[in-house]
Amino acid sequence: MSDASTADPPELRRIAERVVTDAAAHLRRLPRPWDGDGAGGGMTGVTTKSTPTDVVTASDHAVETLVRERLAQLRPGDAVIGEEHGGAAGGSGTSWVVDPIDGTVNFLYGMPWYAVSLAAVVDGVSVAGAVMEPASGRLWSAAAGHGATCDGRRLRASGASQVALSLLGTGFAYSSQRRVRQARMVAGLLPRVRDVRRAGSAALDLCAVAAGWTDAYLEHGCSWWDWAAAALIAAEAGAVVRVPGPTGSAPPDDGLGADAVFAAAPGIADELAALAREHGAADV
């Protein structure tokens, strides 16, 4: 492992930006899993994981392999934890958490809302990160204490002050049983907010909060690699952010559920969290 004293957040941020940019370029060159007639026309290089709806493509594996190779060149000795190839953080120093394609189902169906996400982590806490949207070319990034940007432009969470006029992002688990509970919570929230959006990428949902494109985001069941970079981006943009422990351990009990990821504009965070508790967030 690299010594923790070498973990300079702005430098780690530059490395994350460089690596996700390379990874996105690599992804654009890879064969697509669909044949041009839509996902129903025959897919190649696609398998499943936890459920039949939890897919992984050959592209996921190829992108993660490239990220690991780049990090081995730029930060030899650092640990890497990835969605597809596993890994574990060391006891000290810097580790990297990578999601090669966050929003794989969108990617599978030819939709543009997917991203490559990479975070630098010290003692279980993200200190730098970058999220690249291959389809749009947008590059989101942040370093702890140094703010967040999209394509170099400073990000700021929205100034929303009324939950009733707020736009909420969310997502759903792969388990059908859990989706029922999630849908029940969202059904309770829907009459109390302006509207709800479900884009299909936790990383991009959190980046949308950072940019003020949405006012809040709440989802249960995300993995560490889904939010490791983007939650930092949202926090550095001024959003109130709550994440679970990196291994799924619960933070101090706040009634949102042990594995909830929550980000919101400061002016609505407390009221929205209370509404989520009222409508069963802890039971999702």
How far is Cα 192 from Cα 117, in angstroms, rounded to an integer? 32
- Counting every residue written for the chain, the total comes to 284
Q: Which residues pair with 195 in a beta bridge?
A: 167
Check if 205 is active-site: no
Q: Active site includes 104?
A: yes
Please count the other Cβ atoms lying within 10 Å of the Cβ belonging to residue 38: 11
- Of 101, 170, 233, 236, catalytic: 101
Provide the CA 147 distance to its chain's centre, in angstroms.
17
CB-CB contact of 186 with 196 (8 Å): yes
47 is catalytic: no
Look up residue 109 and give its two tokens: 């169906």
Q: Which of 60, 64, 78, 83 is catalytic?
A: 83
Q: Are 204 and 154 in contact (CB under 8 A)?
A: no
- The residue annotated as part of the active site, out of 104, 149, 170, 214, is 104
Query: Any idea what the Cα angle at residue 52 is, between residues 197 and 224, rounded to 5°?
Result: 55
| Active-site residue identified among 17, 60, 64, 226 | 226
Neighbours of 235 (CB within 10 A): 22
SS3 120: strand
User: 99, 215, 219, 236: which one is catalytic?
Assistant: 99
83 is catalytic: yes
Annotated active-site residue in 102, 133, 205, 215: 102
Q: Where in the sequence numbering do the catalytic residues fall?
A: 83, 99, 101-102, 104, 226
